[in-house]
Amino acid sequence: MIQDRFNEWLEERHGLGIITASTVRNYKNFLSSFLSEHGKKEPQEITAKAVTAWYIARLKTGSASTVRIAHQILSGFMKWLVEQGDISSSPMHKVKPPRAEKTERQALTEDQMRDILTHVEGKPFAGLMVRLALGTGMRRGEMAALRWRDLDLVAGKIFVTRAIVKIGGCEVETKPKTQSGMRVISIPSSLLTELRSLSAGPDDPLLLTNQGGRPSLAHMSRVASDVMKAVGLGDGYCLHSARHAHATQLLRKKMPVKAVSQRLGHSDVTTTLRTYAHVFASDDAELAEAMDGLLA
């Protein structure tokens, strides 16, 4: 039965150290209603139509993000069933998850950035992570993958060639998903001075947790969330807000859009224009003022 095989899958992954006990509980929670409805069926009885119907029912009472997580779990489980010989192919290949919900991006103001930087002073991991995010605009996974050999501290450059991503509950190192993600970022002088004062081997992670070792993506998010809450920022603010603030500040200082787009690793300038439309909207008022002298 699906219920039994699902438990076996979780036990195997937990036994191998791929997922923790808390993750096992979370997986069961995300799929509790699915297992209640289909748990007594045999694996070959689970069809793409049945999974899609469950998604539609879940969306009436839950969020798209919750269903998307359930989709990832089910995809990993069904792939395992194929590997075990229970089914010949995964029905998930024919199932489309719901679209990700559009959430308002929260940029940080200059005052908020100063408050955050003050709060993380003297905190080795949180401090370097926040300063790196604000100073370079790098993505969370890109920062997590950085090693000291990716830095040229003489030229003041960071070479972004890898990223940590989460696939099927596991964090793996991979190349950026687009060619534009492979880029070279100039390091602000103050951050460069800090990095030059640190010492580590070329293969050591740039970011080290307080316990040592590369931080997980979840750990980075939790630390950033704690920092945001400590300075009075609530929902809508996260580690990505630092990247968003980095880009917003550059655009407000009239830096070339193409250069900002390349620094962020966007696939094209259109992505930058669409993502930061709010900045260009504020520029329109300045354009009107510039024409005022002619019309007056």
Claim to verify: residue 76 and residue 119 sit in the same structural domain = no
- Total domains present in the chain: 2
119 and 57 together in one domain: no
Say what the pTM is. Answer: 0.65
What's the DSSP call for residue 285? H
Residues 119 and 234 in one domain: yes
**Is the CB of residue 92 less than 8 Å from the CB of residue 75?**
yes
Q: What is the pLDDT of residue 210?
A: 85
Shared domain check, 83 and 119: no
* CA–CA dist 6, 41 (Å, integer): 12
In terms of domains, do 138 and 186 share one? yes
pLDDT at position 287: 67
Task: Tell me: do 86 and 142 sit in the same domain.
Answer: no
Q: What is the pLDDT of residue 177?
A: 75
Domain of 270, in residue numbers: 110-284
CATH number at residue 35: 1.10.150.130
Do the domain assignments include residue 100? Answer: no
Is 177 a domain residue?
yes
Kindly give the confidence (pLDDT) of every residue in the chain, 296 residues in length, as a single tens digit, with 9 standing for 90 and above: 999 999 999 999 999 988 888 888 889 988 999 999 999 999 999 999 999 999 999 898 878 888 888 999 999 999 999 999 999 999 999 999 888 765 555 678 899 999 999 999 999 999 999 999 999 999 999 999 999 999 999 999 999 999 998 876 788 899 887 888 999 999 999 999 999 999 789 999 999 998 888 999 999 999 999 999 999 997 778 999 999 999 999 998 999 999 999 999 998 899 898 888 878 776 676 667 767 766 75
pLDDT at site 66: 84
CA distance 295 to 215: 58
Q: Residue 227 has what pLDDT?
A: 96
Strand runs labelled E in the chain: 151-152, 157-160, 163-167, 170-174, 183-186
Task: Supply φ then ψ for residue 272, to 5 degrees.
Answer: -65, -45
User: Is residue 157, in this structure, part of any structural domain at all?
Assistant: yes
Q: Do residues 26 and 168 share a domain?
A: no
Rg (CA), the chain: 23
The verdict on residue 163 lying in a domain is yes
The answer to whether 206 and 185 are in contact (CB under 8 A) is no
> Are 88 and 126 in a shared domain?
no
Instruction: Indicate whether 148 and 280 sit together in one domain.
Output: yes
Q: How far apart are CA 283 and CA 247, in angstroms?
A: 15
d(CA 215, CA 204) in angstroms, rounded, equals 12
For position 177, which CATH number holds? 1.10.443.10
Q: Of 70, 94, 118, which closes a domain? A: 94
Structural domain includes residue 52:
yes
